[in-house]
Amino acid sequence: MGADNESDSILWGDRTRAVHVGEGVDPVTRASSPNLVMSSTFSPDRIAGFSALNRSDYEGYTYARVSNPTVEQLASKVASLERAPAALCFASGMAASHALLAGRLSHGDHLVISDTNYVGTAELVRDSLPRWGIEVSPIDSSDLAQVDAAITPKTRMVWIETPANPIMRLSDIKAISTLAHERGVRDVVVDSTFATPAATRPMELGADFVMHSLTKYIGGHGDAMGGAVVGRKEDLEALNLEATVHYGGILSPFNAWLISRGIATFPLRMMAHEQAAIAVAGYLEQHPAVERVLYPGLPSHPQHDLAIRQMHNFSGMMTFKTTQPGEQVAQRMIENLQVIHYAVSLGHHRSLIYWIPTKMLMDSTFRLGRQAESRYRAFAGDGVFRFSVGIEDADDICADLGRVLG
């Protein structure tokens, strides 16, 4: 488990933190770049317990499922960027989500969660948690009244995702955190994968935990999967034994090393993502083949005022609807795009786009009731193109879109 350095690093800016936190000159080799420690086992300097349950008095390394120096280096960077006390890293964003949900909730507890979020999380809470005896209430978390109405004496966690995947709907982190804690809810969790620490630091707004898919913007290069949970040190220490040692969804040291290397340019990349996305969103909004663009940085976004208050960077994520059927446009994208890749995932240095039909999501994943589906369709209609704008030149991205939009 990594934590922010107790040194001048607490005064550093984001760019310096991204480069230096968790790193230093190797005392033996004098190497400037960080080491990659691939060992699965370690030789302790004194007798330590065989089980992780017996190691509470030993701070060193014994086995990589418990801790690894390269993974802890990455955790330190993530925690520092979030201005948070500590972080735990996992094999994927879903491993991080599962660790937090299964590690903090028990049979008989109640979860309130955004009804529109990453499909893996949505399916986990709808299909698995009820089977484990955990009650789940999906709600539109952009509506504070719905959050309030859903909370019961058994509610232990409120989970929000903002901006929401895929429709870019925002939730007010500060207002929800205040409300939930006043109502006695123990944990407020924010999936901040779309926003990243460059845009929003949820713990500063009252949240208890932040979840990231490190595969996306934080890693940034589309070559390593990982996930992280950020929170208070004592909460993550309690979570660590069950969520890492027993569930086993640990992050490979090599992936941790790749993601740490990606973090070095994270603040610069986020500036480039936002700059390109603002230009591309403006281009799409004026294009006759585009019906609607949803990007928090546009004044036309229905929650633009909240975006200004809550986000310091509008990121590179947007969705848009076309006047022609989405399937037809998607096929042209597959055949003709040259700069943009027609592919799933997001937050990579290259631009990625994918068609997401509403009916498919409703049938397979979200399964919303009539009113909730109507609210979703107010954003998405029959479907949207989820567009992760990369760091390429905006003019080249727009020209590529022009080839397929007609």
Torsion of the alpha carbons at 191, 231, 74 and 54, rounded to the nearest 10: -130
Q: What is the pLDDT of residue 238?
A: 85
Residue 340's alpha-carbon distances to 196, 218, 223, 255, 309, in angstroms, are: 22, 20, 17, 25, 31
Residue written as tokens 């986000």?
311
Interatomic CA distance for residues 16 and 38, integer angstroms: 26
Q: What is the pLDDT of residue 52?
A: 65
pLDDT digits (tens, 9 = 90+) for 175-226: 999 999 999 999 999 999 999 999 999 999 999 999 999 999 999 999 999 9
Q: What is the pLDDT of residue 66?
A: 86
Q: What is the pLDDT of residue 242?
A: 84
Q: What is the pLDDT of residue 77?
A: 97
Q: What is the pLDDT of residue 400?
A: 98
Interatomic CA distance for residues 38 and 61, integer angstroms: 13
Interatomic CA distance for residues 82 and 209, integer angstroms: 11
The candidate with the shortest Cα–Cα distance to 163, out of 124, 110, 216, 125, is: 216
Interatomic CA distance for residues 311 and 163, integer angstroms: 10
Give the residue ranges of the chain where pLDDT is below 50: 4-6
Q: Strand 187-191 vs strand 209-213: parallel, antiparallel, or unpaired?
A: parallel
- Per CATH, 2-263 and 266-405 having the same topology is answered no
Other CB atoms within 10 Å distance of the CB of residue 363: 10
- For 63, list phi and psi in degrees, rounded to 5: -150, 140
What residue ranges do the domains of the chain occupy? Answer: 2-263, 266-405
Q: Torsion-angle region of residue 211: left (phi > 0), alpha (psi -120 to 50) or beta?
A: beta
Q: What is the mean pLDDT of the chain?
A: 93
Q: How many residues appear in the chain?
A: 406
- pTM equals 0.94
Per DSSP, the residues of 60-85 read: S--BTTT--HHHHHHHHHHHHHTT-S
CATH no. for 2-263: 3.40.640.10
Q: What is the pLDDT of residue 4?
A: 44
Topology (CATH level 3) of domain 266-405 = Aspartate Aminotransferase, domain 1 (3.90.1150)
Residue written as tokens 């479907």?
383
Interatomic CA distance for residues 346 and 278, integer angstroms: 17
